[in-house]
Amino acid sequence: MTLLVLGLLAIQACGDPAQPLAVWGRAGREPGEMIYPRALAKSPDGSFFVVDRAARVQHFDSQGKPLNLWQMAEWSQGKPVGLTVNRDGNLWVPDTHYHRVIVFTPDGKEIKRFGTQGSGPGEFDLPTDVVFDTQGNIYVSEALFRAGVHPRTPAARLDEAALRRLFKAVRAVLRLAIRHGGTTYLNFVNFWGQPGNFRRKLRVYQRTGEACGRCGASIAREAIGGRSSHYCPECQPAVGVRVRPGARPSGRGPRRA
């Protein structure tokens, strides 16, 4: 993965794969050295993290100077293959072979861990990546649409079948989003400064007034808990949903954001 990263970086940076802008690290176990680097994640402050096949996580400043190094708590079953930095600068490590996610401060202090092996909600089977919905409700809207669940449905009213559809939809939407490099609405760009192109895959989000791709009905928008929720009133019927007096989905004309 990191070979690919460095290769792409070189191509992006100057158009000549033989002339990288910078090369960091060399083989070894000292600070700044790596054993088969596996993943790299950039922090909002310009620093970055690398995890290698020795299950060591290293933090570098934007010039590649080593800042911190720590080892994952356990690694005999396998080592992580992904890293993601949240907007607050903390590092989220999908600890693949332990079926959990561990969150660290930039200097390697563990903040929390969650997840166990399994196929139910909150459980993982070899998680390999973490992605944040930086724009709020994009992935929630998309997953609810795919599952045919109205966004105001109380969680307790979801029957077994709906829960299963929703769980599958959440996984499918996140997997698709990761594959397409995230969603660009405002200014999200990836490590190479490119916008994510998951936006083209969105079926309801920011499509208020447009025809639903499944049934042709007009996509509606409603603010729920202060967040925009987009849905199809036909494909996502309001079952068990209490409608507040005066609350009405907005059906503004076709709009392309």
Number of amino acids touching Zn ion (CB under 5 A): 7
Among 5-13, 41-49, 226-234, 248-256, the segment contacting Zn ion (CB under 5 A) = 226-234
* Residue from 215, 241, 243, 247 in contact with Zn ion (CB under 5 A): 215
Among 46-54, 194-202, 216-224, 246-254, the segment contacting Zn ion (CB under 5 A) = 216-224
Length of the chain: 257
Least spacing, CB of residue 40 vs Zn ion, in Å: 40
Whose Cβ is closer to Zn ion: residue 60's or residue 231's?
Answer: 231
Give residue 119's identity as a one-letter amino acid code. S
Whose Cβ is closer to Zn ion: residue 81's or residue 212's?
Answer: 212
The DSSP secondary structure of 185-210, one letter per residue, reads SSS-B-TTSPBPBGGGG-SSTT-TTS
* Position 212 contacts Zn ion (CB under 5 A): yes
Tell me, letter by letter, the H, E, C secondary structure of 38-104.
EEEEECCCCCEEEEECCCEEEEECCCCCEEEEEECCCCCCCCCCCCEECCCCCEEEEEHHHCEEEEE
Least spacing, CB of residue 233 vs Zn ion, in Å: 8
Least spacing, CB of residue 173 vs Zn ion, in Å: 16
**Which H or E element spans position 169?**
helix 160-179
Task: Measure CA of the first residue to CA of the last residue in the chain; give whole Å.
Answer: 34
* Residue from 66, 113, 234, 239 in contact with Zn ion (CB under 5 A): 234
Whose Cβ is closer to Zn ion: residue 72's or residue 144's?
Answer: 144
The residues, any chain, with a CB within 8 Å of residue 74's CB and separated by 6 or more, are 95, 98
Whose Cβ is closer to Zn ion: residue 21's or residue 217's?
Answer: 217
Least spacing, CB of residue 239 vs Zn ion, in Å: 15
* Alpha-helix runs per DSSP H in 44-159: 138-147
Chain centre to alpha carbon of residue 226:
21
* Position 214 contacts Zn ion (CB under 5 A): yes
* Position 235 contacts Zn ion (CB under 5 A): yes
* Position 219 contacts Zn ion (CB under 5 A): no
DSSP 215: T
Whose Cβ is closer to Zn ion: residue 40's or residue 204's?
Answer: 204
Positions that interact with Zn ion (CB under 5 A): 212, 214-215, 217, 232, 234-235
